Structure 1
Amino acid sequence: VSKKQIHTSKAPPALGPYSQAVWVDNLLFLSGQIPLNHLGELVVGSVEEQAEQIFANIDAIIKKSGGTLDDVIKLSVFVTDMGNFEAINKVMMALFSEPYPVRTTVEVSALPKNSALEIEALVNIDPDKQG
């Protein structure tokens, strides 16, 4: 299997030994994103504001790869409080349209940098559009 690493300065740098995203055939696997700006600074604010920053990061990585948020097929959402479920839904409804990506949401005890949420994405981008 051939893998290609994707990196953009418009999303935060990795916090450890991993890639922002990796291509495998037509699939783009994005590492989990927490609400960091492109300089790696934690965005504080409401859960909606944090989710918006995360999706801005996801969008930047996908755009670097030649796709759009419409190409997202699966999201994995990790939250430290399941009470934030509706706030995340609100942000997603503003960014995605039907058919929505499939999604798993899991409550966890902690996330890097004490973030309230982390989101990873699986994206299918047409080979003719791949950047």
Structure 2
Amino acid sequence: MKEMISTDQAPAAIGPYTQANMIHGILYISGQIPMNPINGEIIKEIDKQTHQVMKNLQAILDAAGLDFSHVVKATIFLKNMDDFAIVNEIYASYLDPVSYPARETVEVSRLPKNVDIEISMIAHKN
């Protein structure tokens, strides 16, 4: 059975989707953008944006009783691949090298709310 996961510690969905779904111990987290969940403000500057996205993801993982060590797959969408080094450094600071997830990073022409970064994740409860 599918369980919808949501928290007010991450931005509410801005469309017909949920923050995350848990099914058979697998958590599918929708792409998170650098939006402050408290006031809806879009964060500026790629380093601050990346931290906000990771905090949003962490809040959703927390709501599901998981943490970044449970993440098995991540997808990073960037508007500018020139930002890859700083994003990679910040992203890595939230993870334990022993349990890095699989990942791809893709440059895209546009993201919701015209942000510079969006990250989605898949985590496993076991």
1:71 aligns with 2:70: yes
Q: Per-residue deviation at 1:48? A: 1.4
Q: Per-residue deviation at 1:93? A: 2.1
Matched with 1:18 is 17
Q: Per-residue deviation at 1:26? A: 0.8
Question: Any runs of at least 4 consecutive aligned residues in structure 1 with deviations exceeding 4 A, and if so which?
Answer: none
| Alpha-carbon RMSD | 0.9
Matched with 2:32 is 33
Q: TM-score, normalised by structure 1?
A: 0.91
After TM superposition, list the pairs within 5 Å mapping 1:106-117 onto structure 2. Answer: 106-117=106-117
Q: TM-score, normalised by structure 2?
A: 0.94
State the aligned residue count.
Answer: 124
1:7 aligns with 2:6: yes
**Distance in 1, Cα, partners of 2:81 & 2:72:** 22
**Distance in 1, Cα, partners of 2:49 & 2:88:** 13
**Distance in 2, Cα, partners of 1:75 & 1:48:** 18
**Distance in 2, Cα, partners of 1:8 & 1:67:** 13
Identity of matched residues, %: 37
Question: Runs of 5+ in structure 1 lacking a partner?
Answer: 127-131
**Distance in 1, Cα, partners of 2:41 & 2:69:** 27
Question: Runs of 5+ in structure 2 lacking a partner?
Answer: none
Q: Per-residue deviation at 1:123? A: 0.5
Deviates more, 1:108-117 or 1:32-41: 32-41
